[in-house]
Chains A and B, each alone.
Chain A
């Protein structure tokens, strides 16, 4: 087996693992805070419906958290086994950031989760509320470190050379690198949207079974209102993130917009099938000068095309399509959330077709998050760390046969786990909350 195949297998395995992993943090980061809100509502009102709600959703949280923990442990091993060159080259930066994640976040959430789940009758109310807060803070702090590292890999800053080694010159610059503020906001909002659609979707599912479920009505409304508030914010932050990417990773923008040639007054490609072999768009539908106008706010401005970055360019087609899936899902979620808020005004129950629609959109956030992740991670290829380390140079160490065997094992395990997760979630939601 030659090197390209090993690289491909290493990427497939790591990509599968990380894609599977990201599903659960993207839900639990925000769900932790939603749970905290439920817990506070119960503490303030003493209403048993809020308690039942809280208990039901802590179960969903525990399940999702366990999925995140086990797939996260796998990742901590694969960093080294699949990408030995990565730690060798930038380990002095990546290592401490990962270590801080484990130290400040992982233990915090895992320990207080036990108290939150099983300790309600064992500790005073305020300690339990405190534990719920710690779990939420833990998941968010976790996201902070991981996004700091990911952003640094996309837009490195603050590092210096010490002989042959790359080390941090200024940790604040490493952490708060140019794309970090945009990326973390984008990710946290994505998590908020993912969680609110899961809450709304599963509540709608329950209401299809029993329309008079007081708890499910509360959570449907909570999910929809939260989504309706976050969706427009996400549009704004997404746009700012895009402008930031244009400044620091223009090659990624060229791939997203499928602009092959540098030109003045570049058209905006609405739809096309990018042809990576012939370096052009097939079946393109374009708005003349649209890209120049959107990206530079000047219809005649020059936009850099993929040709000006060659040969260091990402495959265009997956980035182009993933971006459109992400934006499309985002718009759909915005529309659904706003009409949902209207349909549930003053305690109304939405019509059945609408409940079906919300149920269908339960995991819409996952699709959007995964699509966005593909855009940002494929879009930065061939770099693993922009300008510093190529993906191909980081792989190695393990034979193709070992990768193949373990990849098969992972695929089977993940498929079983994901199916079981969805079945149990639907089952839990269908039964509803009980005080």
Chain B
């Protein structure tokens, strides 16, 4: 039996992108929340993401890397069509990455400037990623309506990252800041609801293929589990945040877990819509795949390295478990 290599790499790419969205999503979200906090809280917020952000962004490189090396034909089309939002995202990621390091070392108005750039970079990167998603799922059609749609998805993704960031802070902080984070989480959730609804409505409208895949009885009934699950996860986060705000004892990881579930379910729905295309209705993953010899060689590397990668990522998260403390570099 021979392995379906393009399918395996598509699954790996999906996994890398989902992990990126969740992991970098929470630290981008914390970045966007910075202006809402005071100086002391900002230190805690930074400490809550400090040990992780470098490695989180690496998942983006892996995701794009797989697109580049396993599906080179699609890489050219997708990133060519998304050239400007990609450039904006990269500039955003650069600004926030260095601002994170610089702000620790700066004093006075310098620090204020880097704080502002940290916020701006986080926002720019998140918004640009949302734009990319919006353009991608509508097959890069041009037209005023499509651009407005992409902007709305951009705003929703910012909201989604705020949700991830806020729930991450619920997990990593305590006291007043945790209370604030619970309120932020609810704001994020509203935007997420809007975004998920928009994308779910738009994709079948834009693409008859997607429409046919979702509205095909009796399969539709089983498929409805996805949106219903997403809705349930959203309600769960909303209620858990409410209970915690009123001071009920609740494990502090539940809102974050709920937020991750929302992203995972939405992602699964999107993956189902797209499959087997890497470029909507234009190019399947088998058409875009590179030569089997290259895929085989890479698969060997992935099989060997992935367990180690997961192991030491888990190790790093274990080392920094528990509540964040200020004074990161001490």
Same assembly: yes
A92 touches B60 (CB 8 A): no
- CB contacts under 8 Å to B, within A43-101, are 55, 59, 62-63, 65-67, 69-74, 76-77, 79-81, 84, 87-88, 91-96, 98-100
Question: Which residues from 63 to 102 on chain B have a C-beta closer than 8 Å to any C-beta of chain A?
Answer: 64-70, 72-73, 75-76, 79-80, 83-84, 86-88, 90-91, 93-95, 97-98, 100-102
User: Which one of B58, B69, B91, B105 has the highest number of Cβ atoms from chain A below 10 Å of its Cβ?
Assistant: B69
Indicate whether A118 reaches chain B with its CB closer than 8 angstroms. Answer: yes
CB distance A104 to B73 under 8 Å? no
Query: A98 to B68, Cβ gap below 8 A?
Result: yes
In the bound assembly, the distance between CA atoms of A123 and B307 in angstroms comes to 22
- When distances are taken between beta carbons in the complex, the residues of chain A under 8 Å from B66 are 99
B: interface residue count bin? 35 or more
Contact A104-B102, Cβ < 8 Å, known A74-B94, A76-B64, A413-B95: no
Contacts of B276 in A (CB 8 A): none
B68 A87 Cβ-Cβ under 8 A: yes
- What interface size band does chain A fall in? 35 or more
Q: Say whether A63 contacts B101, CB under 8 Å.
A: yes
Of B46-54, B135-143, B207-215, B244-252, the stretch lying at the interface with chain A is B46-54
Complex alpha-carbon distance, A103 and B98, angstroms:
23
Residues of A within 8 A of B98 (CB): 63, 66-67, 70, 417, 420-421
Contact B309 A92 (CB under 8 A): no
Chain B residues, CB < 8 A from A348: none
Specify which chain B residues have a CB less than 8 angstroms from the CB of A420 in the assembled complex.
98, 102
**Cross-chain contact A114 with B51 (CB below 8 angstroms):** yes
- A/B pair count, beta carbons within 8 Å: 202
In the complex, the answer to whether B69 meets A99 with C-beta atoms within 8 Å is yes
A71 to B316 alpha-carbon distance, docked (Å): 24
Partner of A171, one of B75, B101, B297, B315: B297
Q: Are B97 and A69 in contact, with the CB atoms below 8 A?
A: yes
CA distance A428 to B329 in the complex (A): 13
B126 to chain A, nearest CB (A): 15
A413 touches B94 (CB 8 A): yes
Cβ-closest chain B residue relative to A171: B297
Measured between beta carbons, the chain A residues less than 8 angstroms from B50 are: 114, 117-118
Beta-carbon contact of A114 and B72 below 8 Å? no
Given known contacts A95-B294, A114-B52, A87 and B309 CB-to-CB distance under 8 angstroms: no
- Since A87-B76, A421-B98 are in contact, a sample of 6 more A-B pairs with Cβ atoms closer than 8 Å, ordered by chain A residue number, is A92-B294, A95-B72, A96-B301, A111-B55, A122-B320, A424-B106
